[in-house]
Amino acid sequence: MFISKNSAKKIVLEVKDIIHQEINMMDEKGYIIASTDPKREGQFHTAAQKIISQKLDQILVVHDDEYAGTKKGINLPILFSGEIIGVIGITGDVAEVAKYGRIIKRITEILLLDAYAKEQR
């Protein structure tokens, strides 16, 4: 399973409407495939790559560019069948956006599972 750009874009826009924060979705290699800031799409996201390669539960970025190509916020792995297939990042003050982290991660996983199920029909 991989995250399609189309699915990623839909999820990013839906989440933005709910929490009014900037959102990025990174693929399994750490590249931004969808963002509420289109200028960031296609950029490499070092924190996402670290989450993927080290199988981390999250990375909090306290300062912009703390990791190359990052802005402050929270980044969490997106799991499918126990495997990391991407990362979702919420940009903003860590104290503010961290409270959304787990729920946004879970909603994203559910939406991807639903999209996968529809593709299999």
The CATH number of the domain where 32 resides is what? 3.30.450.40
33-39: list long-range contacts, CB under 8 Å, 24+ apart.
33/3, 33/5, 33/8, 33/86, 34/5, 34/8, 34/9, 36/12
pLDDT at res. 69: 81
Q: Is the pTM of this model over 0.85?
A: yes
Domain count, the chain: 1
Return averaged pLDDT per consecutive 10 residues of the chain, 121 residues in all.
Answer: 87 90 95 96 96 97 89 96 95 91 90 86 83
Domain that holds residue 21: 5-120
pLDDT score of 24: 96
